[in-house]
Each structure stands twice: as C-alpha cells, then as structure tokens.
Amino acid sequence: MQHIEETSSSLSILSHNNKEKLFGIMNETMTAMGARLLQSNNLQPLTDQRAIITRLDCVQELSQAEEMFYALKSSLRLLNDVDHLITAFIQVPTKPNVRHSEQSINHIINLKHTLLSIGHLAGVRAVPEPVPQTILRLLTDSRLEHFLRLIDEVIEKNVVLEKTAVGIRNQRCFAVKAGCNGLLDVVRQTYKETINDIFEMVNRYVEDYNIHLKAQFNTAIGYYLSTGKNKTLTSTTLELVKKNAKINNSQTEVCLMSDKIVSELSGNIRQDIGVLYKASEAIAMPDMLLPFAHLCSVNEYIRPEFIDTLAIKKGRHIFVK
C-alpha cells in the first residue's frame, strides 16, 4: 500500500509541476519524456562520479552557449509524448471497431509528425559534448527513416496533425493515399460531395430568406446552422439532418476500408518498435539537461569540484531564495 501511495504521489507531482517541490522548481523540460527522466533522477540521484562529471560538462556547455540552448529547446518543443505513442502501437485490440480504426489513423499521423520532429532535432546537432555521438546515433537510426518511407507509401504527404474537430474528422477520411483502394476513393468522394452540398444549402437559405447563416461543426451533432452576432442562435433542418447522417455513414465506411491498409502499416512498424524506445531515451537526456543549465544561468550556481577535502562556501538549499 505504501508503494502505491508513493507512486501516486510522484505522478501527482509530475502532473501538476508543484513549485513547492524540488521537481516543480527544476522542471523546465519541453517533453513528457524529459520530465519523467528528471523526476526519476530526482528520486534516484546519480552516485557514479564519472557520470556526474559528464553531466556537469554538458550542463556547463549548455549554460554558456545561448544559441545552442535555444536551438535545442525549440526543437524539443515540437515533440509529442513518444512513450505514449509506443504504448498505442503495441496495444492491439481483440475486437477492432470503428473507434479503433479512427485511432489507428491518428497514431500513424502522430508517428509521422514525431519522426519528422526527431529528424529536425538530429539536424540541429546542438547536443553538448561529450554525449552527442550516442544521442545522435539513436536519433538517426536507419529504422526511423524506414518508418517514414513506409508511412509515405500509404499516407498523403501533406497530412499534418490537426487540432480542430472538423480538421481531425477530414484528416481521418483523407489520410490514406488515393489509389490504394478504388472503393475507398468512391466513398470518400461521396463524403466530400455531401459536405459541399451542405455549404451550398446554407448559401441557398441565405439567398432565399435573406438572413445571416453559416454552417458550423461539432463532434456531437455534426454540421449545424448558426446565426446572430450579439446573441448566437443555433438550429438545424430536416435536410441538414439527413446530410449529416449520410456523412456519418460515409465516414464509417471510410474508416473500415482504411483499417486494413493502416493495420498492415502499423504491423510493419510494430516489428521494429524498439527503436522508438531508444529514440525516446535520446530525446529525454538533453531535455533533462536544459533545466539544469537554466537554473545555473539564472541563479549563478557554481560548478562543484570533486576533491579529497569537503569545503562549502556560502552554500544554500535550492528552496532558499
């Protein structure tokens, strides 16, 4: 029971970034992987002198090289949670359904974004000595490039991570390249034409009734009508309800038809998923070093030296301002 409570407490600190805790004060990481590694190092500090000196060398270089510091920080900011993505790929449902099909497409697009971001980070080469060769080797593993090639064979090149509800919905429908499945292309054309019909219908309402209307979308009801400036009124029509139903049916068919293509792609990626674990570790290390360099710069911390005699001058705890 004690172990469970301690684990829960650690996760709470990690989630809320509590500034009354050591982790909260130190955490300036850009990624979830870096935050987890920082928390782990706080709970289990290094005891090997050689490893500590190596880390001090890295922190010193980062704190003195402003351009390197911000280039690394900017690249890390682009990355999503790689560990979470790995978990999504290794969990294979026993009974696939429409929701699983939709999520599988999202995971592939997320992986593509992550791989491109890893390539950007590796291209910066702003990781301080003496750790760059190990990290760079992990970030430039040929299997990561192979993943990208596999994805580009199936997924449209211009697909990016969408954030709006309608953007995510359209992304799922058109992520798989045209020509992979003829019937899939037909269904997607129906989906696209029905959406165009909705906007043409709204324009017709505006002309016929001389009122200000626009079509909007949310995941709960699909497309609906909105009018008014100071006070917004929403409504729908029987015609719009029918078109929403047609869109939903088309989307379901698209997801199910795409599922076989995406599942095969995911299976090929899953065979070498271990390379993503290594990439995650390679991302976490420089990300963890950034908070150390940041604290050293803003607080004018002095680098400790390992000698036979213990001598501390004007020492203070990190909590003391």
Q: Which residues, including other chains, have CB under 8 Å from residue 171's CB and lie 6 or more apart?
A: 105, 109, 159, 162
Which pair of structure tokens corresponds to residue 224?
A: 């609906």
Residue 146 confidence (pLDDT): 94
Query: What range does the domain containing 48 cover?
Result: 2-181+261-299
The CA distances from residue 100 to 26, 105, 165, 171, in Å, are 38, 9, 17, 15
Sign of the Cα torsion 249, 254, 255, 256 reads positive
Cα distance between residue 128 and residue 294, in whole Å? 14
Q: Which residues of the chain have pLDDT under 50?
A: 1-15, 126-127, 130
Cα distance between residue 279 and residue 277, in whole Å? 5
Residue 12 confidence (pLDDT): 45
If one counts every other C-beta atom within 10 angstroms of the C-beta of residue 304, the result is 11
Which pair of structure tokens corresponds to residue 228?
A: 């008014």
Cβ atoms 236, 213 nearer than 8 A:
no
How many structural domains does the chain have? 1
- Examine residue 252 and state whether it is found in any structural domain, yes or no: no
- Examine residue 14 and state whether it is found in any structural domain, yes or no: yes
176 DSSP assignment: B
pTM for the model? 0.77
* Three-state secondary structure call for residue 228: coil
- Examine residue 95 and state whether it is found in any structural domain, yes or no: yes
70: left (phi over 0), alpha (psi -120 to 50) or beta: alpha
- Examine residue 311 and state whether it is found in any structural domain, yes or no: no
113-133, pLDDT tens digit by residue?
999 999 888 876 544 554 567
Residue 25 confidence (pLDDT): 82
- Examine residue 120 and state whether it is found in any structural domain, yes or no: yes
Residue 11 confidence (pLDDT): 45
**Residue 136, domain CATH:** 1.10.1420.10
Cα distance between residue 294 and residue 63, in whole Å? 7
* Listed residue (143, 165, 182) closest to 270, CA to CA: 143
150-202, pLDDT tens digit by residue?
999 999 888 877 888 888 888 888 989 998 889 999 999 999 999 999 999 99
- Examine residue 312 and state whether it is found in any structural domain, yes or no: no
- Examine residue 62 and state whether it is found in any structural domain, yes or no: yes
- Examine residue 68 and state whether it is found in any structural domain, yes or no: yes
Residue 19 confidence (pLDDT): 67
